[in-house]
């Protein structure tokens, strides 16, 4: 167990080593057990977390607020549009000032080619831990919850487990690429044979792909890329199909919509699930565009673990906060 996480930022998935992530998971499982048994665990009594949102949120806001309360502290919700941030407060000012008011700063800023830079600018000016609640590049807490959920269903030894991270059709908006990027970075460190499936227009960042390939070589696992969703699902132990935008190949919303509309067939239905292993689990970070990304039959079916996955956001976030902010 690694015990030197106090005061650390958690912005990118690789900010914590594999051993440190294993420590986070150990603590998360213990906190989940404590919550189930009703055991108090107020490790952050009298601590306060600033939660700065530039994007709307359901699970992230709810789980961080509940998590801080269960740890004995307080989470302050701060909306960028209803504060002076919208009128000129800089990242440096937020880091300097909130770093003196609070014991941790959590930020969700997903603007393409800006969000991650903003979070890092705040962190450089802050004397307290800065946590990434999602940016344009990474969604590290979602990925920790995903990893925890896979371990719960497939065991701690994930070697040779075929995990499919796939694009899926949706029209609600051009979604960030942070979830698939975090998944391919983290899962290649934990023994999974990762298959990334997407149409040609929906590439991920080249530097993230290179890091995933480096992880695969280092940990002697597979990392394959395909543009065939059916082929990807064959023999899968875990499938994680979700939509993301063609951010690297288009420059306007109209171009993005045109690219998305070409791929209505990229939906997870029972026919596709039947190509996977009988005990395959279906995952999604939610909200899913029902009957576009995935059919009701699948997302509400026996192979779906989406609600356990959402719950585990609470436990991994509590673990990181307890380890970094105590």
Asked if 75 and 68 count as a contact pair (C-beta separation under 8 A), the reply is yes
- Distances from the Cα of 325 to the Cα of 5, 7, 125, 150, 235, angstroms: 9, 6, 17, 27, 42
CATH 3.30.70.20 fits 142-309, yes or no: no
CATH 3.40.50.720 fits 13-139+312-325, yes or no: no
pTM of the model: 0.97
Dig out the tokens for 278 from the structure. Answer: 């009988």
| Radius of gyration (C-alpha) of the chain in whole angstroms | 19
- Distances from the Cα of 156 to the Cα of 91, 151, 153, 317, angstroms: 39, 5, 9, 20
- Distances from the Cα of 118 to the Cα of 79, 135, 141, 207, angstroms: 15, 9, 18, 19
- Residue 263 DSSP label: G
d(CA 174, CA 171): 7
Phi (first) and psi of residue 280, to 5 degrees: -60, 140
- Domains of the chain, residue spans: 13-139+312-325, 142-309
From first to last of its 326 residues, the chain has per-residue pLDDT tens of: 888 999 999 999 999 999 999 999 999 999 999 999 999 999 999 999 999 999 999 999 999 999 999 999 999 999 999 999 999 999 999 999 999 999 999 999 999 999 999 999 999 999 999 999 999 999 999 999 999 999 999 999 999 999 999 999 998 878 999 999 999 999 999 999 999 999 999 999 999 999 999 999 999 999 999 999 999 999 999 999 999 999 999 999 899 999 999 999 999 999 999 999 999 999 999 999 999 999 999 999 999 999 999 999 999 999 999 999 99
d(CA 294, CA 266): 9
């Amino acid at each position: 167990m690694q015990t030197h996480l106090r005061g650390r930022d958690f912005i990118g998935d690789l900010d914590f080593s594999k051993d440190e992530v294993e420590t986070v998971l150990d603590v998360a499982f213990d906190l989940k057990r404590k919550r189930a048994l009703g055991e108090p665990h107020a490790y952050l009594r009298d601590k306060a977390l600033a939660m700065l949102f530039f994007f709307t949120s359901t699970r992230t806001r709810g789980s961080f607020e509940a998590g801080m309360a269960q740890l004995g502290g307080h989470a302050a919700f701060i909306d960028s549009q209803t504060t002076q941030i919208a009128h000129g407060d800089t990242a440096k000012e937020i880091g300097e000032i909130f770093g003196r008011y609070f014991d941790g700063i959590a930020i969700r800023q997903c603007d393409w080619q800006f969000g991650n830079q903003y979070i890092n600018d705040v962190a450089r000016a802050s004397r307290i831990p800065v946590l990434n609640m999602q940016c344009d590049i990474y969604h590290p807490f979602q990925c920790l919850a995903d990893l925890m959920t896979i371990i719960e269903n497939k065991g701690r030894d994930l070697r040779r487990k075929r995990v499919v991270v796939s694009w899926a059709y949706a029209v609600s908006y051009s979604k960030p690429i942070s979830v698939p990027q975090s998944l391919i970075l983290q899962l290649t460190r934990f023994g999974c044979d990762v298959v990334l499936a997407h149409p040609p227009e929906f590439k991920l960042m080249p530097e993230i792909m290179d890091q995933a390939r480096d992880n695969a070589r280092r940990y002697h696992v597979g990392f394959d890329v395909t543009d065939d969703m059916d082929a990807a699902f064959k023999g899968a132990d875990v499938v994680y199909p979700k939509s993301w935008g063609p951010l690297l190949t288009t420059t306007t919303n109209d171009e993005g919509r045109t690219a998305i509309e070409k791929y209505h067939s990229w939906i997870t239905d029972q026919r596709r699930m039947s190509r996977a292993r009988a005990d395959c689990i279906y995952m999604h970070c939610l909200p899913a565009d029902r009957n576009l990304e995935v059919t009701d039959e699948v997302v509400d079916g026996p192979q779906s673990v989406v609600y356990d996955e959402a719950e585990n956001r609470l436990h991994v976030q509590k673990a990181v906060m307890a380890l970094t902010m105590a």
